[in-house]
Amino acid sequence: MPRKHAKTASPTPTTGEAPAVPAADAASPDPSPADGPAAPSAEPEPQKTAREPVYAADPRPLLSVSLSDVKGGPAMHLLRSHRFNQMQVRFDGGYPDERYLAMLSRAGWRDRTGEEGVWTKQIDRNARWQSVDKMEREFKEVANAIRRDKGLDLAMQGLAVA
């Protein structure tokens, strides 16, 4: 296989001789850092920035329930993280009473509000959709318990499937 770039050996200069320089290099000497910045080339360099792939938001919001009758008031959100294979519950506008948080804890949700600001529960890889469905029901139970105790209508009763 032929070499793509042949190295040219230049003879070592002796005292008093100038080094041998190919004709192309003699016409345009290489600028050294001591000479200052290099002159801009005639052709602009192509952009070398790679495009970032666009992904769906993670975690992705699934359900939201208002915990008051005031627009912009406290709310509870159910999110799904595909990255961490888990469901998350986030409270906006303050946390509910401890008894509602205890309902989440008894259902197996982990309190990560100190580190991540959410309650989390891992999705069972062997029963994926059943696991997610169960977590959605747990979310609705807690949200409706809060709304019921505040005298509000229940939210998301679900559909009856025959």
Tell me which of 23-27, 101-105, 126-130 is least confident.
23-27
Assigned domain for 33 exists: no
Residue that wins the pLDDT comparison between 12 and 113? 113
Residue with tokens 């105790």: 149
Q: pLDDT (tens digit, 9 = 90+) per residue, 53-62?
A: 666 778 899 9
What are residue 146's phi and psi, to 5 degrees?
A: -65, -45
Assigned domain for 53 exists: no
The stretch 72-101 carries a mean pLDDT of 94
The length of the chain is 162
| Average pLDDT of the chain, as a whole number | 79
Domain encompassing residue 81: 60-149
Q: pLDDT (tens digit, 9 = 90+) per residue, 11-53?
A: 554 555 555 555 554 455 555 555 555 555 666 666 666 676 6
- What is the number of structural domains in the chain? 1
pLDDT exceeds cutoff 50 at 102? yes
* 0.85 exceeded by pTM: no
Assigned domain for 19 exists: no
Neighbours of 145 (CB within 10 A): 16
